[in-house]
């Protein structure tokens, strides 16, 4: 039973990481149909923001608290610039957005190498997040994993409330359901797109801050994360936040179980095979978006 609960929490913690890196992509990809390959570099920007702040703020705990909003703003601003300068002209050409944002991601990786160097760097974790929580039965849970889980759930709750209860959320949902009808109804779709890109990219920055607690950061860390983010969004259903939440934790538990029974490499193969089989059965994803399209 101890092993079962241990693997279950390991899977949940992996799912929390997947959810954090995919949450912003679920927002931008779902609404704007933009294949943003630079999303991983926004995560990298959030991670390096934490690193830079720790050079001037000596306390690891204080620097982490400050890094959360600062990384959100930094990554969100990068997303807005990308939308205004490039993506705005490519909304009707999704494959072109893939190529353009892939080029942007390579440029951002090289910029990170020029500024911070090619070797990975390590940030300091607060003392509160370096230990473990001991539970009955000999089960231990890492504090940093608990923090990431809490951060992921808080981000989901905040985003859900914003989409359901605020005027901005209603405008976003209107544009998602039918962009043309929203535009003729007086909703400024261009402004909604910029705001959505800011929020989605800012959430990527939060994910970058969280990932500094799990290991070193480097210029190519986004490349290692972007595929997992897209898998979560596509399997959950385009534009479906609840689908991304369910799929992130399901894939996390599946990967943890596979790692326990086999090896890390085999577990990755098992996850990919399960995703392919699921999409063969349900290509639209776990949930589908209901629209008011007249076409």
- What CA–CA distance (Å, rounded) separates 189 from 292? 17
User: 277 φ, ψ to 5°?
Assistant: -65, -40
The Cα-based distances of 227 to 84, 234, 237, 278 in angstroms read 25, 11, 15, 17
To which residue do tokens 């149909």 refer? 33
- Per-residue pLDDT tens over the stretch 91-122: 778 788 889 999 999 999 999 999 999 999 99
Contacts of 133 (CB under 8 A, 6+ apart): 140, 141, 142, 143, 146
- What CA–CA distance (Å, rounded) separates 236 from 124? 34
- What CA–CA distance (Å, rounded) separates 240 from 103? 27
Query: In this structure, how many other beta carbons lie within 10 angstroms of the beta carbon of residue 59?
Result: 13
Which helix (H) or strand (E) segment is 41 a member of? helix 39-56
Q: What is the CA radius of gyration of the chain?
A: 19
Q: Note the pTM of the prediction, 2 decimals.
A: 0.90
Q: In this structure, are residues 67 and 132 in contact, taking their beta carbons and an 8 Å threshold?
A: no
Angle in degrees, 0-180, between the axes of helices 264-281 and 241-261, rounded to the nearest 10: 140
248, two tokens:
């992130």
- Per-residue pLDDT tens over the stretch 244-259: 899 999 999 998 888 8
Tens digits of pLDDT across the chain (295 residues): 667 777 888 888 889 989 988 988 888 876 677 888 999 999 999 999 999 999 988 888 899 999 999 999 999 999 999 999 998 888 778 788 889 999 999 999 999 999 999 999 999 888 888 888 877 767 788 889 899 999 999 999 999 999 889 998 899 888 877 778 888 988 888 898 899 899 999 999 999 999 999 889 999 998 888 888 889 988 988 778 888 899 999 999 998 888 888 888 898 899 999 999 999 998 888 887 665 444 4
Which helix (H) or strand (E) segment is 82 a member of? helix 60-85
């Amino acid at each position: 039973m101890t092993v079962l609960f241990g693997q279950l929490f390991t899977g949940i913690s992996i799912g929390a990481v997947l959810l954090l890196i995919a949450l912003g992509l679920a927002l931008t990809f779902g609404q704007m149909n933009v294949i943003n390959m630079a999303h991983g570099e926004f995560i990298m920007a959030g991670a390096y923001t934490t690193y830079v702040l720790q050079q001037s703020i000596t306390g690891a705990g204080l620097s982490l608290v400050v890094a959360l909003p600062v990384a959100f703003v930094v990554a969100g601003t990068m997303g807005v610039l990308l939308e205004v300068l490039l993506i705005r002209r490519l909304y009707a050409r999704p494959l072109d957005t893939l190529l353009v944002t892939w080029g942007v991601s390579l440029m951002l990786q090289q910029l990170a190498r020029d500024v911070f160097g090619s070797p990975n760097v390590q940030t300091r974790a607060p003392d509160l997040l370096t230990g473990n929580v001991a539970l009955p039965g000999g089960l231990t849970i890492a504090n940093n994993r608990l923090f990431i889980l809490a951060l992921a759930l808080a981000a989901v709750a905040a985003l859900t409330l914003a989409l359901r209860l605020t005027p901005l959320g209603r405008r976003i949902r209107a544009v998602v359901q039918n962009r043309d009808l929203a535009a003729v109804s007086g909703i400024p779709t261009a402004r909604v797109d910029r705001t959505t890109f800011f929020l989605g990219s800012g959430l990527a920055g939060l994910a970058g801050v969280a990932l500094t607690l799990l290991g070193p950061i480097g210029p190519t860390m986004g490349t290692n994360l972007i595929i997992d983010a897209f898998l979560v969004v596509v399997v959950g259903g385009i534009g479906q936040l609840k689908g991304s939440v369910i799929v992130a934790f399901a894939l996390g538990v599946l990967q943890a179980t596979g790692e326990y029974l086999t090896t890390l490499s085999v577990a990755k193969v098992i996850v990919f095979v399960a995703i392919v089989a699921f999409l063969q059965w349900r290509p639209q994803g776990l949930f589908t978006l209901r629209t008011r399209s007249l076409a």
